[in-house]
Amino acid sequence: MIVYDGIKTDFLKSCEKDTIAIEIEQNILSKLGKHTPKAEFRSWENSLNYMYKVLNDNEIPSDAGVAIEYNIPQTSKRVDFMISGYDESDNAGMVIIELKQWDSLTEVKGTEALVETYVGGGNHRVVHPSYQAWSYAQLIKDYNGEVQDKNIKLSPCACLHNYIRHENDPLDSAQYKDYLDEAPAYTKGQIDELRDFIKRSVRKGDNKDILYRIDHGKIHPSKSLQESIGSMLRGNREFIMIDEQKVAYEEILRLSLQCQKDYKKRTIIVKGGPGTGKTVIAINLLAELTKRDQLVQYVSKNSAPRQVYLKKLKGQIKKSSVDNMFKGSGTYTEAGCNVAHTLLCDEAHRLNEKSGMFHNMGENQIKEIIHAAYCSVFFIDESQRVTMDDIGSAEEIEKWAKEESSEIHYLELESQFRCNGSDGYLAWLDDVLEIRETANYDLEGIDYDIRICDSPNEMRDLVIERNRVANRARVLAGYCWEWFKKEQNNTNYHDIKIGDFEMSWNLGSGEPFAVSDTSINEAGCIHTSQGLEFDYVGVIIGDDIRFENDHIVTDFTRRAKTDQSLKGIKKLYKDNPEEAKRRADEIIKNTYRTLLTRGMKGCYIYCTDLGLSHYLKNRLEHIKHESANN
């Protein structure tokens, strides 16, 4: 949907009369039912007045199509500015321009497409504007049938009209080269260069015809996208399904394809604990349903699983259309009904009510995901809710599915945890942490390498040794040590200090923690490891959990002040101490249960509380005593 469209002369007249921003504001209210914030209104005035200067060129045809705020179908993404027409050889084309008011930015070293700049009232990491323009063009190319069938050429670029470029500017850092080549970035003083870029694609007007065709194009994945994700999956051992995983995959596939035929809503709740292969199923469905001509996306609240599994899919490929298939759970706040065929929501227990940087957008992420798709699949483990904001539960999903008049289907996955394929270790952990009583007092008969270490150095040495085999071992820690943003990229700053042991939290730059070669020197937290699997982990259990008077005791006051997972607990404690203790107890225990189940073959534990260390050792020693007495 296009919020504003016209030909070049219409746009110029509206700018001259100072009505362009007002027209867009009115169109957004009438078409989307939304009021425009003052900041966005001012940004239109500034950026579009600049585009007025750019288009004031007689060689850009007066009847070229102009579109502003084009809402890419099946997404909540809007393209700032588009110009359509024909080139010298009468080939149809459209220029996509991402407009930015930034006047400065810094590169985020070690990443492919992130920069840091002042937005939303503070400095935040966002994608490079060239990446953003390229990804929007690629999204339209991959899913718009008119662009595919009529070979409409899309030419993306970025325009930072307040940005003064310098020699060796961070905007042009080598790590962004691939995206700058695809979508050049034009800055203050480069009007002539931007005009030349436009005129390569638009030398003859189309009277908005190309814009109309794109806006009404049939939505389906391109053959190249289908082949691309299919080839990435083939032969990738990370995503081979076994046993119950294949059974669940086939059932979800059947239900999703049924939605494609009868256009009825279906919601599928897939329950499964650690190691059950929820993500493996989701990635396989992502590829297969795309091949079946569906618009399908992998969704997660945490960015870590998206980054890691996208990296594992792409391998050494840097720039790929597949990037657009991995979405955050806050993507659907403004999405229409059934804009996607299937949404695969991994780690659904981590979904929040509100979305956005300040948790002030949308109504409820579960509702919005179900609303946005014919088929919504929620992979969930309620024992992994680890923050005050986590609302993902089967009950909550059922409630919103019923409100959206969706059929509800249930599947359950058995553990494929690589300790003799047994749920014994998970049950033992629940018993040990006093989450629930189980019959698994010990780990007898469980082929799993678990050790309680006397020092954090001993634990780290074991992990480093295991990591030499395949870079699949990591140190993880409870959030009991402060994380200082200003030191997030300083490998020499050690946040975690225990006696002579020192270690940094995982650094903010570079590859994702789970796959980086250097992450063995850093400690991961719940946010960088949840939803991911390693062969071995070392876990530092901090002062927020201890053993005293023959029981496990949690203490939310010993969490780091920078920890956001218990945000609001102090206020709740003042109003309702018992409820605050219950919520904090659940979150802290779930956090350690999650950390202690990241290693599929083994886990090495160090406890800052000596009582807890003795207790865990006794629970493990029980196996030996029982064996000796038999």
Nearest to 340 by CA among 304, 305, 297: 297
Are 85 and 76 in contact, with CB atoms under 8 Å apart? no
511-540: pLDDT as tens digits: 889 999 999 999 999 999 999 999 999 999
Q: What is d(CA 588, CA 612) in angstroms, rounded to the nearest whole number?
A: 15
H helices within 544-600, ranges in order? 569-575, 577-595
Pick out the chain residues at pLDDT < 50.
Answer: 420-421, 624-630
Are 252 and 245 in contact, with CB atoms under 8 Å apart? no
Length of the chain: 630
Tell me the residue type at 433: L
pLDDT of residue 422: 57
Q: What is the pTM of this model?
A: 0.89
pLDDT of residue 112: 80
| Residue 271 to residues 276, 288, 377, 378, 411, Cα–Cα distance (Å) | 9, 21, 11, 8, 6
Q: What is the DSSP letter of 413?
A: P
Tokens of residue 568, six digits: 């609001």
pLDDT of residue 417: 57
Look-up of token digits 């691309």: 228
pLDDT of residue 626: 47
Q: Are strands 153-160 and 92-100 parallel, antiparallel or unpaired?
A: parallel
pLDDT of residue 489: 82
94-106: pLDDT as tens digits: 999 999 999 999 9
Q: What is d(CA 187, CA 518) in angstroms, rounded to the nearest whole number?
A: 36
All domains of the chain, ordered by start, with CATH?
A: 2-215 (no CATH), 223-412 (3.40.50.300), 424-629 (no CATH)
CA-atom Rg of the chain in angstroms: 27
Q: What is d(CA 334, CA 422) in angstroms, rounded to the nearest whole number?
A: 43
**DSSP output for 392-446:** --HHHHHHHHHHTT-EEEEEEPPP--TTTT-SHHHHHHHHHTTSS--S-SS-TT-
Q: Are strands 522-524 and 501-505 parallel, antiparallel or unpaired?
A: parallel
Q: What is d(CA 47, CA 42) in angstroms, rounded to the nearest whole number?
A: 9
pLDDT of residue 120: 80
Tokens of residue 145, six digits: 């049938």
**CA 582, chain centre distance (Å):** 29
pLDDT of residue 455: 98
pLDDT of residue 630: 47
Q: Which residues of 145-156 are buried (b: 16+ CB within 10 A; e: fewer)?
A: ebbbeeebbbbb
Are 351 and 531 in contact, with CB atoms under 8 Å apart? no
| Residue 273 to residues 152, 270, 423, Cα–Cα distance (Å) | 47, 10, 9
